Amino acid sequence: MSTGRPAGLPTVDAETPAVLVVAGPVTRDDVAGLGEEMRALMKDTGAAVVVCDVAALRPVTLASVDALARLQLAVRRAGGRIRLRDPAPALRALLALVGLPFEMEGDVEQREPALGVEEEVEPGEPAV
């Protein structure tokens, strides 16, 4: 006997995303293992967003950028998104240099005003 999917929307804990810590020097040989670990983490937690903690990722090299690009591709293929936590300024600069867009934890999303910021309205303008 088989059971169907439960009715309604799936329960998602948006406050606690899955976290993968990437430390260290990362070599090309490490990429496959990190991708498998990322997919297993998404499957086990059911999270659509995976936070990749890169605070201890040193040294920042093109190999580490290649690893992050491959992780992002693996997550997208699995139907999710990746967000970087605590990237070093050198890593941010290198990602920008090679043109890889990554969502950073704590950054304000595009098209979203920062919290506490209000638009200036001229006197006499109607409220929108």
What does the pLDDT look like over 103-114, one tens digit per residue? Answer: 998 765 555 555
Higher pLDDT, 74 or 128: 74
pLDDT value at 119 more than 80: no
Q: What is the mean pLDDT of the segment spanning 41-54?
A: 89
Distance CA 52, CA 71 (A): 9
- φ/ψ of residue 57, rounded to 5: -80, 100
Residue 49 has pLDDT above 60, yes or no: yes
Report yes or no: 52 and 20 within 8 Å, Cβ to Cβ.
Answer: yes
Contacts of 82 (CB under 8 A, 6+ apart): 49, 50, 51, 52, 71, 72, 75, 76, 102, 103
Is residue 48 over pLDDT 70? yes
Average pLDDT over residues 29-38: 85
Q: Which has more pLDDT, 71 or 15?
A: 71
Structure tokens at 34: 């990190």
Extract the tokens encoding 32: 């496959």
Which amino acid is present at 123? P
Domains in the chain, please, with CATH? 18-103 (3.30.750.24)
Of the pLDDT bands very low, low, confident and very high (cuts 50, 70, 90), residue 29 is confident
For residues 42 and 115, the model is more confident at 42
pTM: 0.68
Look at residues 73, 1, 62 and name the one whose alpha carbon lies nearest to residue 32: 73
